[in-house]
Amino acid sequence: MNVWLFSGAQGLSALTVDGDGGNLPDELGPWSKVRAVELQNDTPDEQEAIALIGEHGFCCFD
């Protein structure tokens, strides 16, 4: 799955399918695009991120 990595406030990061980051929570920003990321679905963390992105369109983590 191809997604975008963004950095937010206080060391928070997010993965999203929206290359503009328009679906990321405003209250956790401001958001800055870092780079494209390809999730492989082969680790528990990536599987959880893919599930959250499928449900919400993004996944936030620190």
Structurally, the chain folds into a number of domains equal to: 1
Q: What is the pLDDT at residue 56?
A: 95
Residue 42: burial class (beta carbons within 10 Å; 0-12, 13-18, 19+)? exposed
CA–CA dist 12, 34 (Å, integer)? 12
Could you tell me the residue range of the domain that residue 15 belongs to? 2-61
**pTM of the prediction?**
0.92
Low-confidence ranges of the chain (pLDDT < 70): none
Tokens coding 12: 């928070």
Nearest to 23 by CA among 35, 31, 40, 38: 31
